[in-house]
Chain A
Amino acid sequence: MKPLLKVAGLNAWYGESHVLHGVDMTVGEGEMVTLLGRNGVGKTTTLRAIMGIVRERRGEISFAGEDLIRVPLHRVAHRGLGFVPEERGIFSTLTVYENLLLPPAVAKGGMTIDEIFELFPNLHERRNSAGTKLSGGEQQMLAIARILRTGVRMMLLDEPTEGLAPVIVQRIGEVLKKLKERGMTVLLVEQNFRFASKVADRFYLMDHGRVAGEFPVSELSGRMDMLHDVLGV
């Protein structure tokens, strides 16, 4: 599989604090890769540094063969990369529909509004409500849906199941499987590795701002004890 995203020796800082200490990873076209790790090991920062939201970074981030380090934040999405933040980032002064239409389409092949409403009927029902009037699960669906419309090739997805009821988590899992069928590449940050094991092809284990291990989903069951230890779950 040819890599769509390649990260090598990535360092990143929040002001004085040095958070990433040389992250190396690759994500193949159409692959779904999950970053595991305890709180504060740099999973979210890795996504934010790849996206260019964290600007103080050094190393290599190449996406579809192009170095992203010098690309300004507002041009990154146009290269085909979409970001769904942990806090979801639904806008309270915009309706659900306006939230959905906010990110500009960056390429052909994104989902149409009709397809999105078919996949997320709740969003259609509540399209005229203020974005933040939605439940947590609906807000997560909206955060994913608005990126699907843009036609990006790869999605950076930060803890989509955090704080959600099991039935919603299951629903998000189904959505991710559908995305995979469509050929979407996903880099997922997830604490819930039972959830991740159902959707991911491969795992990176992060610790202290770097990648501490890598294994395919087939090896997950054999590593459960180790993961329980490392993740403290």
Chain B
Amino acid sequence: MIFGIPLQAFLGQLLIGLINGSFYALLSLGLAIIFGLLRVINFAHGAQYMLGAFMAWLLLSHFGIGYWPALILAPLLVGLIGAVVERTMLRRLYTLDPLYGLLFTFGLALTIEGTFRYLYGASGQPYATPALLMGGANLGFMFLPIYRGWVIVFSLVICLGTWLMIEKTKLGSYLRAATENPVLVQSFGINVPFLLTLTYGLGAALAAIAGVLAAPIYQVSPLMGSNIIIVVFAVVVVGGMGSIMGAIVTGYLLGIAEGLTKVFYPEASNIVIFVIMAIVLLLRPAGLFGRDA
């Protein structure tokens, strides 16, 4: 027993919180990277997450390509689509008011989701857990479905890997510098327009990774993205726009906060993230990890 709650229920919700947090972290990480460099609030992020899940499902149902190849192929495809969208459309909006980028990506999200709804209906498609990750492990104090453990571990690896790439590599130093002063970086002879394309593609690919990971847990449905993206935007607001580590840490923390609220006060679990967002906005408008503008 912990605070009058059975340990099993507590740990169960903690696990669910960690899993939700894994998705929040992956998605808000991509949003933060895109916003940092492109100054675009990517409303199509939920649609790109959904596309990732659908790519996995389509690869399996049409070509018999399973989970493991899909975990690489789907993000590559969605990243490529993202790069093409940036190159042909989004790029034209950089010189305009940032609102145009938001409206464009919002319209893009509606178009993608509407198309998939038309083609596949609003109900979800099941996607089987890969055989390797079936079943569960009895940890003594609780039963852990292996796939969910995998989601937590893999999302952590991707988040930390992305963070290391940005903080410790040459390419990352280009990204950080271009986030601060793109014109000067370009005057050094670095192809910043290409960097922007790459970044949007990377952000979309991260969303797609989250989508493939989600496919066996939630059903693959055209609306799965719009369901999660509003929460993810709240996570980004709490963490602070443009802070990479902030987005990751806040994603996991808020997932856990949501899970624990389900234990202690279930009625509030759907709104707890938004309540935290409101408090953070009141006390620290730049977000927990945000640099003051």
Which A residues fall within an 8 A CB radius of B?
A: 51-53, 73-78, 82-83, 85, 89, 91-94, 98, 101-104, 106, 150
How big is chain B's contact interface, by range?
A: 10 to 19
Cβ contact within 8 Å between B187 and A102: no
New contact pairs (5) apart from A76-B189, A89-B184, CB-CB < 8 Å:
A52-B187, A74-B186, A77-B188, A102-B190, A150-B188
**B159-206 residues at the A interface, CB under 8 angstroms:** 170, 173-174, 176-177, 179-181, 183-193
State in angstroms the CA–CA spacing of A157 and B170 once bound together: 26
Name the A residues within 8 Å of B185 (CB-CB).
Answer: 102
Closest to A79 in B: B189
Name the B residues within 8 Å of A93 (CB-CB).
Answer: 176-177, 179-180
Identify A101's interface contact among B173, B181, B184, B192, CB under 8 A.
B173
Given contacts A74-B186, A85-B184, A89-B184, contact A94 B191 (CB under 8 A): no
State in angstroms the CA–CA spacing of A47 and B214 once bound together: 52
Cβ contact within 8 Å between A103 and B173: no
5 sampled A-B residue pairs with Cβ under 8 A: A73-B187, A74-B187, A92-B180, A102-B177, A102-B188
Number of interchain pairs (Cβ within 8 Å): 57
State in angstroms the CA–CA spacing of A73 and B193 once bound together: 10
Name the B residues within 8 Å of A101 (CB-CB).
Answer: 170, 173
Name the A residues within 8 Å of B179 (CB-CB).
Answer: 93
Cβ contact within 8 Å between B187 and A98: no
Given contacts A51-B187, A85-B184, A89-B184, contact A74 B177 (CB under 8 A): no
Name the A residues within 8 Å of B180 (CB-CB).
Answer: 91-93
Cβ contact within 8 Å between A76 and B173: no
Cβ contact within 8 Å between A98 and B189: no
State in angstroms the CA–CA spacing of A77 and B192 once bound together: 13
State in angstroms the CA–CA spacing of A28 and B189 once bound together: 23
Q: Which of A51, A75, A91 has the most CB of B within 10 A?
A: A91
Name the A residues within 8 Å of B176 (CB-CB).
Answer: 91, 93-94
